[in-house]
Chain A
Amino acid sequence: NAGVTQTPKFQVLKTGQSMTLQCAQDMNHEYMSWYRQDPGMGLRLIHYSVGAGITDQGEVPNGYNVSRSTTEDFPLRLLSAAPSQTSVYFCASSYSGTGIGYGYTFGSGTRLTVV
């Protein structure tokens, strides 16, 4: 039972490069979300999905794209990396979402540095 798996764990990008952060869960959760965490800013919601084929924007979506072709996978794409996107990125999934249930399970995160 792997839970939520994020790859890579660390990444350094040059300004303007693109990349995809991978997120996979094996719990058959419909709800998945991406967050970024910066010092003093808490966890800010980037994009989320309530099921395969359904995605929506969160609080800070600019510069990021997502897709959800399967229940298991929810990749986050940085189109043209900028230093302001230096952050720790967390993927999370949940069976019940914000409803009554068991909360979200988080991956171990990707630490991204854009130089």
Chain B
Amino acid sequence: GQQVMQIPQYQHVQEGEDFTTYCNSSTTLSNIQWYKQRPGGHPVFLIQLVKSGEVKKQKRLTFQFGEAKKNSSLHITATQTTDVGTYFCAQANQAGTALIFGKGTTLSVSS
């Protein structure tokens, strides 16, 4: 079925290292949303990207939307233990009436 593909599925880094997760779609996206889920918690909305080539920053997090609007990435600079969790990208279903989530990238950080 319709789903964005996320890679990698898991990533372990040492505290202070950078981290990137990628989201790829076979179709052109109207927009893409990113969420973070802490262990044992619920997903929390981080950001929405709408424009081709858009880059948005939230402190150490940088979000990019590809020029063709078929891919997106989330980059974390100098990871901290507070960054631990699963990061999901999500796209609209065909009717544009609900969100379809990727399988997520689970980040673990050791200090």
B13 to chain A, nearest CB (A): 20
Q: Does B99 contact A (CB under 8 A)?
A: yes
* Count of interface residues, chain A, beta-carbon cutoff 8 Å: 29
Interface contacts (Cβ under 8 Å), in number, total 81
| Cα-based distance from A16 to B9 in the complex (angstroms) | 34
| Cα-based distance from A102 to B50 in the complex (angstroms) | 12
Q: Is the CB of B50 within 8 A of A45?
A: no
Q: Does A22 contact B (CB under 8 A)?
A: no
Q: Is the CB of A102 within 8 A of B45?
A: yes
Q: Is the CB of B43 within 8 A of A106?
A: yes
| Cα-based distance from A105 to B91 in the complex (angstroms) | 15
Q: Contact string, B42-56, partner A, CB cutoff 8 A, digits 1/0?
A: 111111101000000
Q: How many B residues are at the interface, by size bracket? A: 20 to 34
Q: Which residues of A contact B91 (CB under 8 A)?
A: 98
Q: Does A53 contact B (CB under 8 A)?
A: no
| Cα-based distance from A41 to B70 in the complex (angstroms) | 21
Q: Is the CB of A106 within 8 A of B88?
A: no
In the complex, chain A residues 24-83 whose Cβ is within 8 Å of any chain B Cβ: 31, 33, 35, 40-45, 48, 50, 56, 58-59
Q: Which residues of B contact A42 (CB under 8 A)?
A: 6, 88, 101-104
- Interface positions of B (Cβ within 8 A of A): 1, 6, 9, 30-31, 33, 35, 41-48, 50, 88, 90-93, 95-104
